[in-house]
Amino acid sequence: MYKVNEIKELIRALDNSSLEELEIRGENKTKLLLKKTASSASAPVSQKQDTAQAENREEQAPAPVFEQQQEQAKDPASAEKETETKSKADTSHLGEITSPMVGTFYSAPSPEEGPYVKTGDNVKKDSIVCIVEAMKLMNELEAEIDGEIVEILVENGELVEYGQPLFLVKES
């Protein structure tokens, strides 16, 4: 899902370009469609149209993009997403290993080597579980809890935020 600031940047970029329409399809079958409307386009309205037609067109201006997204009908993908949300709520009893900084997540010390941990591995408080690269510095992240890795929540090479959960751990 896009953040409001990202959508605003896309709208500004579309306004400053010669494109009339921009469509972006997400991984989970979400679709973001941005269109320039007649009022936002800099081209003048044709002189052949009478004023009544022009007024009707202004009254029927499309709804903002974020309102259109909320009106999307529920499909199997959104039902699946709700199921995932419910299953994540059921994991609230699990411990989390979170990112201490903004950076890039790496599951292994180098591309040639295997990951530090996999699902099902047991970790100790001082076990290294991943690397978070920030400003060209490779920061090894320790588990800080004892337990079993239940789920790895991010992909190798993915950007992570401060406080973002990286691993779910069944504490022992």
Instruction: Please give the Cα distance from 148 to 120 (Å, whole number).
Output: 6
**Predicted local distance difference test score (pLDDT) of residue 81:** 53
For 45, the token pair is 């309205």
**Predicted local distance difference test score (pLDDT) of residue 67:** 44
- On whether residue 83 sits in a domain, the answer given is no
Residue 149, SS3 per DSSP: strand
Q: Do 100 and 166 belong to one domain?
A: yes
Q: Do 102 and 163 belong to one domain?
A: yes
pTM of the predicted model, to two decimals?
0.48
Q: Do 73 and 110 belong to one domain?
A: no
- On whether residue 89 sits in a domain, the answer given is no
Question: How large is the average pLDDT for residues 137-141?
Answer: 93
Give the end of a domain, one of 78, 112, 133: 78
The predicted-structure confidence for 10-47, as pLDDT tens digits, reads as follows: 777 777 777 777 777 776 667 777 777 654 444 444 33
Number of domains in the chain: 2
- On whether residue 87 sits in a domain, the answer given is no
Percentage above 90 pLDDT, the chain: 42
**Predicted local distance difference test score (pLDDT) of residue 91:** 60
- pLDDT at residue 145 is higher than 70: yes
Can you give the CATH number for the domain in which 162 is found?
2.40.50.100
Nearest to 124 by CA among 106, 147, 158, 140: 147
**Predicted local distance difference test score (pLDDT) of residue 68:** 44
- pLDDT at residue 121 is higher than 90: yes
- pLDDT at residue 88 is higher than 90: no
Structural domain boundaries, residue 152? 94-171
**Predicted local distance difference test score (pLDDT) of residue 132:** 94
